[in-house]
Amino acid sequence: MANILEVENLVKKYGDFAAVDGVEFTVEEGEVFGLLGPNGAGKTQTISMLTGVVEPSGGKARIGGYDIKTQAPEVKKINGLVPQDLALYPTISARANLNFFGRIYGLHGKDLKERVDDVLHIVGLTDRADDTVETFSGGMKRRVNIAAGLVHHPRLLFLDEPTVGVDPQSRNYIFESVQRLNRERQMSIVYTSHYMEEVELLCKRVAIMDQGKIVAMDTVKNLIAILGGGVILIGLDEVEDGLLVALSSLPAVRQASIAHPLDDQLTESEEEPDVDKPGSSETVVKIETENSQEALVNVFAYLNDRDIVVRSLEILESNLENVFLHLTGKKLRD
């Protein structure tokens, strides 16, 4: 299948700081592609470059075959952007807002009315179309924001953290809208989030971003498979010479290594030590396994035989959040 989006070595620098550092990925026609990462990972900066909001410092990208720098007018005709921040006029109605954005895209008359009615239906706000936006809940405003990005029927829609701060009902509407647009209209969608369950639900492929770089990219299933049989984190007072080599040689253990300096990344609080969570005063050993249960038995038997005290233990389930933790040493969180 042809690619609607091709990104090559995209860079955005502010002085010496690289907010986006050599990002590369493609999106197929009709695909829902996820950019997963914590706030500050570079997701929004990437989207802003691809949609013409900010100029890239380097690299290139093509959307629908058009270069984002040299053919920006053509790109904007097939792009739709739903930004994190609400871009609405609060004192006029939802319909009036959508009429305004539709006219920006050159729509008028019957075509404009049909498009506005269509997108109001998509986001579930037909019955509130003529109410002023300032009377809406946060979630409903988000849904109008999405409708504004859809009114010109883009081939490629960028959704940047669309569920931040929304109520559960609006969140479900947004999920259903994304799935319907992709399924019924074959719309290509780039969906950014720091909620792993959203990209697991919606996206065919996912790129995990951290500190301006893509650290992993594949299908959700293949990314989760990175953990293999799972990962065990064991907190010890100290790690003696040869311990990591010995643990790595145990049955069902793929590799043992010192975890990243996690400090408070692995625990929500340092007020009281908890034997079930690694603490900041310990050395955390990360054990990648082929089978977590078998590896756990073998590791504890080895440590007990040598009177090595285990201060904490955490077994990571196979999901995208723990893949991110495994790759970066940090948890996905606000």
61 touches 22 (CB < 8 A): no
Beta bridge partners of 110: none
Mean pLDDT lowest among 5-14, 154-163, 180-189, 314-323: 314-323
| Domain range summary for the chain, segments of one domain joined by + | 3-224, 229-317
* pTM for this model (two decimals): 0.77
pLDDT for residue 109: 94
Quick one: CATH architecture of 3-224?
3-Layer(aba) Sandwich (3.40)
What would the mean pLDDT of 83-103 be, rounded to a whole number? 93
d(CA 94, CA 106): 19
d(CA 27, CA 11): 18
pLDDT for residue 269: 35
- Confidence band, pLDDT 50/70/90 cuts, at residue 39: confident
Query: Scanning the structure block, which residue is given the tokens 């951290």?
Result: 210
pLDDT for residue 61: 97
251-306: per-residue pLDDT in tens? 999 899 998 544 444 433 334 434 344 445 789 999 988 888 899 999 999 999 99
CA dihedral 121, 126, 128, 130 (to 10 degrees): 110
How many residues are there in the chain? Answer: 334
**From 2.60.40, 3.30.70, 3.40.720, 3.30.930, which CATH number describes the 229-317 domain?**
3.30.70
Beta bridge partners of 35: 192, 207
d(CA 293, CA 54): 49
Cβ atoms within 10 Å of 97's Cβ, excluding its own: 24
First-residue to last-residue Cα distance in the chain: 36
